[in-house]
């Protein structure tokens, strides 16, 4: 109970209310003391009026008047002369004078605290102004013990009342906080616990309903988080299923391609010039397909294996890409060209680099053909001090704004209807595996430019 939010709130409320009451108690007890002494002065003044009415009072009557007033003697100054109106023997000398005519709040508080802290009974003199302008001043002598006891009694009543007020206030606040805050918070916690048990179940996502603004914001943030997490888990499940399917397909496809590879070995021995010219490219394509299937089976995850770096001529890889993509152009008015220095050597994984450039060129070709207008795709490269730069430029319609926002995100960066967006995600991952970077330099109505940057790192050997 005490470790709960409501329990601690209850305790803090009681403490704070009591502190507030203490701050009120100090000036209150000082005011009580002042009123007590003024009351003594008024009673003494009333007793002295009896003497003014009859100069000769019997001793017993005078004693009775002083006892009723609660004083030992009364001195009244009416016309610049002090006159002892009533008197009785005092048990001890006067040990303090208190003038109530011109005392500030701090003086009253100081005197009240001092009186509470002094348990010894003393005789004190109190000076004040007579009521109804019945003279210049009036002074009386009284015992301090009755004053202290009256102050203690008043203080105890104030403290008891403060405690009751504190408890009632804390209880009311406790009930209010429980209804306004604690209950909605427990509801949010319950939603979180139910969602944690089955995060894939969209029915367990919280529905914001709180009336308090801060709690409503927390519920809305939790709703957004749970919605995104549920979607991510579903996508992860789909990716896992897709990976399993790809592994199975790759296994069977590898067997099919292996058989096709055996047939291409025989085609290479053909005497037909056209067959002899096309056979090497067919062999290279089948070899790459077999290698890709084997890599997929070997890795078995949604990641790419580390590149095997070798030094080779970039023009050989780009020529294969251009030749394979040119076959898919058909009768469309589309040109795929290359601008690679013949002697340019790069250090990379040729198979992975082929896949990267092939993905970029294929995307550009498909975008131009889908647009229906003539166009061109160019693969250019240059050797710089910091690394090798490979640009794939097209004159297509440019990328949609949505595709640019999620360009390298699987299943979100698709550039054409029906596309999965995997091509650019795979290409970017392969380039990062080389320590390089694949970026979109520009994409507008004049076309698109993708840039591949491969770091040189160690000196070529």
Do 73 and 135 reside in the same domain of the chain? yes
Distance CA 119, CA 176 (A): 45
Asked if residue 64 belongs to a domain, the reply is yes
pLDDT at res. 297: 55
Question: 71-105, pLDDT tens digit by residue?
Answer: 777 777 766 655 555 567 777 788 888 887 777 77
Do 75 and 214 reside in the same domain of the chain? no
The answer to which of 83-97, 289-303, 313-327, 331-345 has the lowest mean pLDDT is: 289-303
- Rounded to whole angstroms, the maximal C-alpha distance in the chain is 162
Domain end point (choices 171, 192, 214): 171
CA distances from 148 to 72, 112, 122, 144, 421 (A): 17, 9, 11, 6, 89
String of DSSP letters for 254-302 = HHHHHHHHHHHHHHTT---HHHHHHHHHHHHHHHHHHHHHHHHHHH-SS
Query: The domain containing residue 220 runs over which residues?
Result: 202-243
Exposed/middle/buried for 196, CB within 10 Å: 0-12, 13-18, 19+?
exposed
Asked if residue 274 belongs to a domain, the reply is no
Do 341 and 215 reside in the same domain of the chain? no
The answer to which of 60-69, 93-102, 315-324 has the lowest mean pLDDT is: 60-69
246 versus 309: the higher-pLDDT residue is 309
Do 160 and 215 reside in the same domain of the chain? no
Distance CA 312, CA 331 (A): 33
- How confident is residue 461, by pLDDT bands cut at 50, 70 and 90? very low
Q: Are strands 437-444 and 447-455 parallel, antiparallel or unpaired?
A: antiparallel
- How confident is residue 33, by pLDDT bands cut at 50, 70 and 90? confident
Asked if residue 192 belongs to a domain, the reply is no
Distance CA 48, CA 53 (A): 9
The answer to which of 159-173, 203-217, 399-413, 428-442 has the lowest mean pLDDT is: 399-413
Question: Coil, strand or helix: which one is 453?
Answer: strand
Do 37 and 154 reside in the same domain of the chain? yes
Do 74 and 223 reside in the same domain of the chain? no
For the whole prediction, is pTM greater than 0.85? no
Domain end point (choices 129, 149, 171): 171
Asked if residue 188 belongs to a domain, the reply is no
Domain harbouring 420, CATH code: 3.30.565.10
Do 448 and 327 reside in the same domain of the chain? yes
Structure-token pair, residue 452: 């591949």
**Stretch 208-228: mean pLDDT:** 84
Question: 267-284, pLDDT tens digit by residue?
Answer: 666 667 776 677 777 777
Looking at the structure of the chain, the number of domains it has is 3
Do 313 and 445 reside in the same domain of the chain? yes
Do 149 and 37 reside in the same domain of the chain? yes
Do 223 and 313 reside in the same domain of the chain? no
Task: Provide the β-strand partners of residue 311.
Answer: 347
Residues 6+ apart with CB under 8 A from 316: 350
Asked if residue 196 belongs to a domain, the reply is no
Structure-token pair, residue 289: 């397909």
**Stretch 398-411: mean pLDDT:** 76
Do 137 and 221 reside in the same domain of the chain? no
pLDDT at res. 341: 93
Structure-token pair, residue 275: 């067959």
Q: What angle in degrees, to the nearest 10, is found between the helix axes of 350-371 and 422-433?
A: 150
Q: What percent of the chain has pLDDT over 70?
A: 75
Asked if residue 259 belongs to a domain, the reply is no
């Amino acid at each position: 109970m005490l470790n709960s939010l409501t329990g601690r709130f209850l305790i803090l409320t009681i403490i704070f209310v009591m502190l507030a009451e203490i701050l009120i108690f100090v000036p209150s007890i000082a005011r009580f003391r002042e009123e007590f002494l003024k009351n003594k002065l008024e009673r003494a003044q009333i007793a002295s009026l009896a003497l003014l009415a009859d100069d000769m009072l019997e001793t017993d009557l005078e004693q009775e008047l002083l006892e009723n007033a609660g004083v030992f003697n009364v001195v009244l100054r009416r016309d610049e002369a002090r006159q002892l109106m009533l008197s009785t023997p005092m048990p001890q000398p006067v040990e303090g004078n208190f003038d109530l005519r011109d005392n500030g709040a701090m003086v009253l508080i100081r005197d009240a605290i001092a009186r509470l802290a002094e348990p010894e009974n003393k005789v004190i003199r109190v000076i004040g102004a007579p009521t109804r302008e019945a003279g210049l001043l009036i002074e009386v002598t009284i015992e301090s013990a009755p004053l202290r006891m009256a102050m203690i009694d008043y203080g105890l009543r104030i403290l008891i009342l403060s405690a009751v007020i504190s408890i009632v206030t804390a209880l009311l606040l406790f009930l209010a906080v429980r209804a306004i805050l604690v209950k909605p918070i427990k509801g949010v916690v319950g939603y979180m616990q139910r969602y944690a048990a089955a995060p894939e179940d969209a029915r367990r996502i919280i529905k914001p309903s709180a009336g308090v603004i801060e709690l409503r914001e927390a519920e809305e943030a939790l709703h957004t988080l749970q919605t995104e997490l549920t979607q991510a888990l579903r996508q992860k499940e789909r990716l896992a299923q897709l990976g399993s399917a790809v592994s199975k397909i790759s296994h069977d496809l590898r067997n099919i391609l292996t058989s096709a590879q055996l047939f291409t070995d025989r085609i290479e021995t053909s005497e037909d010039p056209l067959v002899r010219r096309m056979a090497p490219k067919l062999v290279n394509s089948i070899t790459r397909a077999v290698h890709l299937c084997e890599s997929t089976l070997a890795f078995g995850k949604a990641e790419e294996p580390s590149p095997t770096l070798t030094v080779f001529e970039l023009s050989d890889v780009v020529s294969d890409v251009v030749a394979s993509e040119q076959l898919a152009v058909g009768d469309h008015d589309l040109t795929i060209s290359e601008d690679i220095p013949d002697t340019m050597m790069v250090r990379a994984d040729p198979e992975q680099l082929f896949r990267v450039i092939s993905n970029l060129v294929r995307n550009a070709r498909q975008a131009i053909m889908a647009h229906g207008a003539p166009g061109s795709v160019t693969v250019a490269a240059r050797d710089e001090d910091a690394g090798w730069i490979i640009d794939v430029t097209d004159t297509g319609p440019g990328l949609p704004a949505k595709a640019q926002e999620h360009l390298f995100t699987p299943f979100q960066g698709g550039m054409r209807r029906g596309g999965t967006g995997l091509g650019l995600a795979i290409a970017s991952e392969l380039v990062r595996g080389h320590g390089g970077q694949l970026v979109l330099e520009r994409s507008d109505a004049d076309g698109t430019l993708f840039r591949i940057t491969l770091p040189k790192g160690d000196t070529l050997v």
